[in-house]
Chains A and B, each alone.
Chain A
């Protein structure tokens, strides 16, 4: 099946710094990708829809200036957490629809820890 990768798998940063997370569709093209955040023992919460060649669409309550999304190509979307704070520590997961049935394929996730 289709594969979605994320890089890095885990990152630790200091408070106030910015962190970039990459999401790649390895064997298919994705005009749309989705970014989710998951806190410990909770469900996945949709943050935003990443659109290739246009602005991302953010869910209510998600700060677009804090979580910058860039979908520069048909296989890559990036999420940059700007001025990270400890409360941004979470598991960030991306997904992309692919294949003949547009099934959503999820990446393995990125564990962000802000000290």
Chain B
């Protein structure tokens, strides 16, 4: 089955700096890669996603890149703000309507 690895487990950056979270997946059949933000005591919230026919996608301060050959995908957050502090999960799936396999999560802290 699919296995998703995520690094780092914790990340602390100065407000205004960029944050990068990296993930790898094992199943070459996976073709949908969402990223979720989870705040304490709440369900995960989709922040951006990318499909395997695209190498990069950007939405304001958030961007995701995908390297299908290497089975790597990354989340980039620029100009970080205090409200970006949360746990971020990468995930992989065989399609957006299929079951989602999550990475282990990254706790992002933004230092004022």
Contacts and interface: CB of A to CB of B under 8 A. Distances in A.
Interface string A90-113: 000101010001111111110100
Interface in B45-65: 45-46, 49
A106 B96 contact: no
Interface in A23-77: 32, 34, 42-46, 49
Given A43-B105, A102-B95, A34 B44 contact: no
Nearest to A6: B43
Given A44-B89, A97-B96, A109-B42, A103 B101 contact: no
B41 interface: yes
Contacts of A106: 36, 43-46
Interface residues of A, number: 22
For the side of the interface on B, what is the size category?
20 to 34
B43 A104 contact: no
Which secondary structure dominates chain A's binding surface?
strand
Contact of B34 (A34, A42, A93, A104): A104
Nearest to A9: B41
Identify which of B44, B45, B100 gathers the most chain A CB atoms within 10 Å of its CB: B44
Contacts of A43: 89, 102-105
Given A43-B89, A108-B42, A103 B105 contact: no
A45 B103 CA distance: 10
B89 A103 contact: no
Contacts of A42: 104-105
Contact of A104 (B96, B103, B105): B96
A43 B103 CA distance: 7
A34 B97 CA distance: 10
B97 A102 contact: yes
Interface of B: 34, 36, 41-46, 49, 89, 93, 95-97, 99-105
Given A43-B104, A46-B100, A46-B101, 12 more contacts: A32-B97, A34-B100, A42-B105, A44-B89, A93-B43, A93-B44, A95-B100, A97-B97, A101-B96, A102-B96, A106-B43, A106-B46
Interface of A: 6, 32, 34, 42-46, 49, 93, 95, 97, 101-109, 111
